């Protein structure tokens, strides 16, 4: 009798989604922010491969701003995962 009830409990599948709709929206926002950070890091293209332009490679945008934006996107992702849905 006890085995039957345990098996019946295991057979019940929870059909609720893992995250709420708001969590998914925040995850998408965090992903977009992270992608923007990586796009800020790109650039520094030169027509002449023998000429190095340190002012483009080591600019504020690529060295400081882009990593901060990427970390902000990751913080949003962590918040979206850890946030409890409203019930």
Residue 87 forms part of a structural domain = yes
User: What are phi and psi for residue 60, nearest 5 degrees?
Assistant: -60, -40
Distances (CA, A) of 66 to 1, 13, 37: 62, 44, 5
Residues with Cβ within 8 Å of residue 12, at least 6 apart in sequence: none
Which of 63, 73, 71 has its CA nearest to residue 43? 63
Residue-wise pLDDT tens digits, 35-77: 999 999 997 777 787 888 888 888 899 999 999 999 999 999 9
Q: Is residue 19 part of a domain?
A: no
Q: Residue 16: CB partners within 8 Å, gap ≥ 6?
A: none
Q: Is position 36 within any domain? A: yes
Q: What is the share, in percent, of the chain residues with pLDDT greater than 90?
A: 51
* Region 79-87 average pLDDT: 87
Residue with more model confidence, 28 or 17: 28
Count of domains for the chain? 1
Q: Residue 33: which pLDDT band, with cuts at 50, 70 and 90?
A: very high
DSSP code of 38? H
Q: What is the pTM of this model?
A: 0.75
């Amino acid at each position: 009798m006890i085995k039957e009830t345990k098996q019946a409990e295991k057979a019940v599948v929870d059909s609720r989604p893992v995250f709420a709709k708001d969590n998914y929206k925040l995850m998408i926002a965090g992903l977009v922010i992270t992608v923007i950070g990586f796009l800020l890091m790109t650039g520094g293209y030169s027509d002449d491969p023998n000429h190095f332009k340190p002012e483009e490679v080591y600019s504020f945008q690529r060295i400081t701003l882009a990593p901060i934006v990427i970390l902000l996107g990751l913080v949003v992702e962590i918040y979206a995962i850890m946030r409890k849905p409203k019930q």
